[in-house]
Amino acid sequence: MSEFPVKVEDISQVKKKISFEIPWVVVQDELESVYRNIGKKAKIKGFRPGKIPRKILETYYKADAEGETITNIVNKYYWQELDERGIVTLSRPEIEQDGLKENTNFSFSASFETEPDIEPQGHKGMELEKVNITVSDADMEKRLGEIRKMFATMQDVAEDRPAVMGDFVTIDFKGKMDGQELPELQSDNYLLELGSKRFIPGFEEQIVGMKNNETKEINLKFPADYHEKKMAGKDVVFTVILKGLKEQKLPDIDENFVKNFDKYNTLEELMNDVRKTMEEQCIRQSEAQFDEKIIERLLTANEFDAPPSLVERQIFYMIADTQKRMKSAGMDEKNAMELSFRMHDQFKKEAEKTVKTFLLIKKIAEKEALVVSDDDMDSKINELAEIHHVDYETVKNAYNDEDRMNTLKSEIIQKKVFDFIKREANIKVVEKVGMEGEAAS
């Protein structure tokens, strides 16, 4: 440890402060070294480089010399202390210092974020309930309905009937808030499926009953938690013109329908494959729900703060992912960027949970000596190669940088931890019929 006074304080669970008092003799030696280096390069009229008196150098370079001395001392002793104490930082240090004073010890402090010191609790002997989900007839009917819609045709409503849920309407609309029209609340020739819930609550419901070429004013209130803060909880009046009304014509599920698919020869093959796919989905859903229960139990048993820098980093990833999905859905890049950044605060709670889960999983793995071996990595790469129908080397090369490799290792460690927790738990299995159904008694 340092040969002079150093004080380490825990400011919070995730922030530390190290205070240093560097003896003047140490500071003086560093200051002399800095002046010597400056003197070798300095160009002052009337003096040769390397022959400039110290007093003259101080006249021209005192601020630079003292600034460089402070930087050198702070960097040297800050990093040395972290290394000796085995402290890992998560953020750049916030340095506080009052400058150099002749014949006076130099004091400075560095504050920084660290991972919380967690001693995992409650990950052994959990009492858990796991729900096994079975595909119901209603699930099959719903999925087949979705498949039929993929091959549906659109046709104008023949009779002069009003719009009903399920219809596709073409509308012009303008929205006013506080008497002012807002550009983001208007569109022409907008195609909307009634019942899709793409608009705020009440909008689609009030279009039901309208007829072609009808104009209607719709009075609504934006939800209090609406992502656009300036609109949240505000009253809005939409003027809507219904310009077109179409309905879907769904094909029958029969042997003729099977001709839409190359991979099936009979209706039975189609039905069996749909059921198999849904059964696999049920297994994934059941496991995901079970893992979520474990996470909730772990976070309840282990209360700690999430480091703000890691939370902000996770929010950044979530914003980037949201932008990508918005652009894939057809939104232009500028609007996608603006809208996703406005969702920063909405992402915070989920980001904190993600960070806490990551840190807790990491600590449990350390406590239970769960590690990622080369065989584990090879198995995971082979698994990904099979899923994506590519060879082993292609996947391995795709993960041939440190960040991606660490992400893959984190996924493997997380599975190992969950498998460990499940082996140590008392699990009651409950059967549930239907992906949206009730648990069977």
SS3 per residue for 216-250: EEEEEECCCCCCCCCCCCCEEEEEEEEEEEEEEEC
Is residue 33 a part of any domain in this protein? yes
Listed in sequence order, the residues at least 6 apart from 278 whose beta carbon sits closer than 8 Å to its beta carbon are: 135, 139, 140, 143, 435
Asked if 323 and 351 sit in the same domain, the reply is yes
Asked if 235 and 303 sit in the same domain, the reply is no
How far, CA to CA in Å, does 74 sit from each of 108, 294, 428?
A: 8, 44, 57
Domain with 235, as residue range(s), is: 153-249
Asked if the model's pLDDT at residue 394 lies above 60, the reply is yes
3-state secondary structure of 433: strand
Last residue of a domain, one of 249, 276, 296: 249
- pLDDT tens column, 45-61: 777 777 788 888 878 88
Sheet of strand 15-22, all strands in order from the earlier edge strand to the far edge: 6-12, 15-22, 106-113, 94-97
Is residue 1 a part of any domain in this protein? no
Q: What pTM, to 2 d.p., does this model score?
A: 0.75
% the chain with pLDDT above 70: 98
Domain holding 173: CATH number? 3.10.50.40
pLDDT bracket for residue 441 (50, 70, 90):
very low
pLDDT of residue 302: 96
Structure tokens at 149: 């819609």
Is residue 147 a part of any domain in this protein? no
Asked if 428 and 284 sit in the same domain, the reply is yes
Asked if 98 and 234 sit in the same domain, the reply is no
pLDDT bracket for residue 417 (50, 70, 90):
very high
Asked if 283 and 371 sit in the same domain, the reply is yes
Asked if the model's pLDDT at residue 63 lies above 70, the reply is yes
Average pLDDT, the chain: 90
Q: What is the DSSP letter of 257?
A: G
Asked if the model's pLDDT at residue 425 lies above 50, the reply is yes
3-state secondary structure of 173: strand
Listed in sequence order, the residues at least 6 apart from 128 whose beta carbon sits closer than 8 Å to its beta carbon are: 290, 293, 294, 297, 422, 425, 426, 427, 428
Asked if 242 and 262 sit in the same domain, the reply is no
Our count of domains for the chain comes to: 3
Last residue of a domain, one of 232, 249, 266: 249
Listed in sequence order, the residues at least 6 apart from 326 whose beta carbon sits closer than 8 Å to its beta carbon are: 335, 336, 339, 340
Is residue 227 a part of any domain in this protein? yes
- pLDDT tens column, 246-282: 998 999 999 999 999 999 999 999 999 999 999 999 9
pLDDT of residue 333: 82
Q: Rounded to whole angstroms, how far apart are CA atoms 305 and 397?
A: 37
Asked if 164 and 63 sit in the same domain, the reply is no
Q: What is the mean pLDDT of residues 392-410?
A: 88
237 has which bridge partners? 176, 219
pLDDT of residue 435: 85
pLDDT bracket for residue 230 (50, 70, 90):
confident
H or E segment at 189?
Answer: strand 180-193
Q: What is the DSSP letter of 319?
A: H
Is residue 230 a part of any domain in this protein? yes
Q: Using CA atoms in the order 343, 349, 350, 354, what is the torsion angle rounded to 10 degrees? A: 130
Asked if 96 and 26 sit in the same domain, the reply is yes
Lowest mean pLDDT segment, chosen from 210-224, 333-347, 358-372: 333-347
Domain holding 412: CATH number? 1.10.3120.10
Is residue 186 a part of any domain in this protein? yes
Asked if 279 and 368 sit in the same domain, the reply is yes
Q: Rounded to whole angstroms, how far apart are CA atoms 362 and 368?
A: 10
- pLDDT tens column, 233-250: 999 999 999 999 999 899
Asked if the model's pLDDT at residue 438 lies above 70, the reply is no
Q: What is the mean pLDDT of residues 362-386?
A: 93
Listed in sequence order, the residues at least 6 apart from 343 whose beta carbon sits closer than 8 Å to its beta carbon are: 227, 319, 322
Asked if 84 and 35 sit in the same domain, the reply is yes
Asked if the model's pLDDT at residue 2 lies above 70, the reply is no
Is residue 20 a part of any domain in this protein? yes
Q: What is the DSSP letter of 167?
A: -
Asked if 416 and 281 sit in the same domain, the reply is yes
3-state secondary structure of 253: coil
Asked if 22 and 74 sit in the same domain, the reply is yes
Is residue 136 a part of any domain in this protein? no
Domain holding 105: CATH number? 3.30.70.1050
Last residue of a domain, one of 249, 284, 302: 249
Q: Which amino acid is at 31?
A: L
pLDDT bracket for residue 440 (50, 70, 90):
very low
